Amino acid sequence: MKILVINAGSSSLKYQVIDTAENQVITKGLCERIGIDGRHTNKTNGGKFVEEVEMKNHSEALKVVIDCLVSDKVPGISSLEDIEAVGHRVLHAGEVYNDSVLITDEVMVELEKLIPLGPLHQPANIAGIRACEEMIPGVPQVAVFDTTFHSTMPDYAYRYAIPKEAYTKWQIRKYGFHGTSHKYIAGELEKLCGKKGNFIICHIGNGASLSAVSNGKCIDTTMGYTPLEGVMMGSRSGDVDPSILERIMNETGMTIKDAINYLNKKSGLGGVSCISDDMRDLEEIAFSDEQSERADDCRLALNMHAYRVKKYIGAFYAALGTVDAIAFTAGVGEGGCEYRQSVLEGLEGLGIVVDKDKNITNFKRGEMNVISADDSKVKIYVIPTDEEQMIAKDTERLTK
C-alpha cells in the first residue's frame, strides 16, 4: 500500500508517503509557520526544494502537500488515487481507545471530547484529519495515538495518590506519551532478542521518556498526565515538588498558566545552563577546557539529565524484576555517545555493562548498534526510531 502519514502540529504539518510493500519512503516534507506566512520543504530521492507559500490553516497546508505529490516533483505518484490510506499521529486517546483506530464520524466525536487532555496538539491533529476528509474524500484514515502503547499499565502504576474523584470525574491519571516510538523500539527489541522479553526503552530527544516493557506490554512510563512529568528534558523540568509553583507565583506574580509554561518552556537543560536547551550546544562548552561559570552550568545540566535517566533505569529494573535489554533512541539517545556513557556507567551491579569502544569509538550513527560489553548480562542497543513506519504499519493493518 501507498500510505500518506500525517503529523499535524499547532502550526506545522509533517508528512511522508510510504510504500509498505517495498518498505520505502517515496517522499517526505514539512509545512511550517501555518497561519503566519508559510514554508514548505520537500525531500525526494535525495533532492530537496523549499517554497515560501501562504498557508492560513491546515486545509491550505494539505492542499500544498497534495499539489506537490501529484506534480512531476515526486516520481512514483501519478495521481491521488495512488494514495490508498492516510495514517495520522494523534496525541491523545484518553481511556477511550487502547489501540489505533479506523476513523469514523463516531471516532471524531470522541477525539473532540478529548481536547481538554491535549488542548495544544489535539485540535491540530483533528484539523489534519478534517483537511484530509475534504481534500482526499473516500480514502480510509487511521488515528495512531501517542498514548495507547502505555494503556496496558496496571492501575497502581497509572493512578496518582490524590482523591479518587480526580480520576473518576476528570480522568486525571498517568497516560504517557511517545508511545509510537516506544512501540516501534519494543518490536525491534523482540526481533533482536528473539522473544517478548523485559525491556527498558529510553527515548531521549529534546523531549524524553522511558518505558518499562514486559512480554510486549508497557507496565510503566515516565511521562504522566502531560509530557511534563518524568525525566529532565530540553526545556521541561520533569519531576518537581508541586509546591514550587506556589513559590514561583508568589515571587513573580505569574498566573498558574504562566508558571506551567515556566516549567515546560524555560526549565530543563535550558533553564539550568542559561545557554541552550540543545544538548549539543552544552556539550561543546562542557567538554572544552573552558573554566567559567557558564561552563560549570553546562556541565551541571548534563550531569543532572544523565543522573535522572540513570535513576529511572534503576527504578524500572526494580519494577520489571529482571531486564533482557535496554535500548536508546531519538536524537540524543541515538547521537549522544558520551551522554549514554555517563548514563550507563555505575550500573554494573545490575549486570548493565557498557563497552566504551562500541559506544563511542566504533559507533555508527543511523544504524542499529550493540554497545554492551561481552560480559554484560543485559544487552544494550542503540536503535534509530521510525514512528512514521509504525504509523504506516498500523494504518495498513486496520485498512486491509
DSSP string, 38-106: -EEEEEETTEEEEEE---SSHHHHHHHHHHHHTSTTSTT--SGGG--EEEEEES--TTT-SS-EE--HH
Residue type at 4?
L
pLDDT in tens, the chain (400 residues): 899 999 887 778 899 999 998 889 999 999 988 888 889 999 988 788 899 999 888 888 988 998 888 887 787 787 888 899 999 999 999 999 999 999 999 999 999 999 988 887 898 899 889 989 988 899 999 999 999 999 999 999 999 999 999 999 999 999 999 999 999 999 999 999 999 999 999 999 989 999 999 999 999 999 999 999 999 999 999 999 999 999 999 999 999 999 999 999 999 999 999 999 889 899 999 888 888 999 999 999 999 999 999 999 999 999 999 999 999 999 899 999 999 999 999 999 999 999 999 999 999 988 999 999 999 999 999 999 999 999 999 999 999 8
Query: Under 8 Å CB-to-CB from 286, ≥6 apart: which residues?
Result: 295, 298, 299, 302
Q: How many helices (H) and strands (E) does the chain have?
A: 15, 14
DSSP letter, residue 148: G
Q: What is the pLDDT of residue 72?
A: 79
Instruction: Give, in degrees to the nearest 5, the angle at Cα 359 between 388 and 211.
Output: 45
Output DSSP code: residue 108.
H
392's grid cell: 504506516
Q: Locate cell 464520524: which residue?
A: 105
Closest CA to 328 of 382, 270, 399, 251: 382
* 128 neighbors 8 (Cβ within 8 angstroms): yes
Task: Specify the residue for cell string 555517563.
Answer: 342
pTM for the whole thing?
Answer: 0.91
What are the distances in angstroms from CA 311 to CA 165, 197, 231, 308?
31, 21, 9, 5
116 DSSP assignment: G
User: b/e map of 212-223 (b: 16 or more CB within 10 Å)?
Assistant: bbbeeebbbbbb
- Catalytic (active site) residue 99: no
| Coil, helix or strand at residue 52 | strand
- Which residue out of 19, 37, 105, 146 is catalytically annotated? 146
- Helix 122-135 and helix 105-113, axial crossing angle in degrees, nearest 10: 160
b vs e for 51-60, b when ≥16 Cβ sit within 10 Å of the residue's Cβ? eeeebeebbb
Beta strands 85-90 and 141-145 are parallel
CA neighbours closer than 13 Å in the CB half-sphere of residue 234: 16
Residue 399: per-residue pLDDT: 93
What distance in Å separates the CA atoms of residue 99 and residue 107, rounded to the nearest whole number? 13
**DSSP one-letter string for 249-311:** HHHH---HHHHHHHHHHS-HHHHHHSS-S-HHHHHHHHTSS--SHHHHHHHHHHHHHHHHHHH
Question: DSSP label at 372?
Answer: B
- Secondary structure element (H or E) that encloses residue 202, with its range: strand 198-204
Q: Which of 108, 100, 122, 97 is nearest to 226 (CA)?
A: 122
Name every residue whose Cβ is closer than 8 Å to that of residue 349 and which is 6 or more positions away in sequence.
none
Spatial separation of the C-alpha atoms in residues 83 and 1, rounded to whole Å: 8
Determine the pLDDT at residue 333: 94
- Predicted pLDDT of residue 35: 84
Q: Which of 61, 64, 58, 63 is nearest to 127 (CA)?
A: 58
Beta-strand relationship, 198-204 and 24-32: unpaired
Collapsing DSSP to helix, strand or coil, 86 comes out as strand
User: What domains appear along the chain, each with residue ranges and CATH number?
Assistant: 2-145 (3.30.420.40), 194-382 (3.30.420.40)
